[in-house]
Amino acid sequence: MQTVVIVVHLMIVLAMIAFVMLQRSEGGGLGMGSGGSGGFMSTRGTANVLTRATGFLAIAFFVTSLALSVIAGMDRKPRSILQGGSTPAAPGAPAPPLAPGGGLLDTLQGGSGGGQGGAPAAPPAPSGPQVPQSR
């Protein structure tokens, strides 16, 4: 449903751009449309049709925009801060400590402890200067 509304919305946008570009410029801000340039879009009746069509396309644009926002809001489910099992951590708060032998590196290595016999492997000796760590 959302995909259909998005496709219709994009077709309306493209049509509205085309209708606005076809209209004759009244102010001549860019130098176009002034100076007696004749053509098949130079009559006053055509200008009224283009103006009305642009208005209808603008209304359709707003309707599809509102429909898309309503469809997007239907998927959201309100959550209560008073109920629920887990509370999310505050932004910037340190992560909870990992259980011994249950780190990400151990999971990636495919074993418990990552070394022989289940004991954690010692980190390699540093080969260059290190950044001081706070304790």
Q: 82 phi and psi, to 5 degrees? A: -85, -25
**Rounded Cα distance, 108 and 111, in Å:** 8
Cβ atoms within 10 Å of 15's Cβ, excluding its own = 16
Which residues, other chains included, contact 54 with Cβ-Cβ below 8 Å and sequence gap of 6+? 16, 19, 20, 23
Which residues, other chains included, contact 40 with Cβ-Cβ below 8 Å and sequence gap of 6+? 46
Is the pTM higher than 0.75?
no
**Rounded Cα distance, 34 and 32, in Å:** 6
Q: Which residues of the chain have pLDDT under 70?
A: 27-46, 84-90, 93-107, 109-121
Which residues, other chains included, contact 10 with Cβ-Cβ below 8 Å and sequence gap of 6+? none
The pLDDT assigned to 114 comes to 46
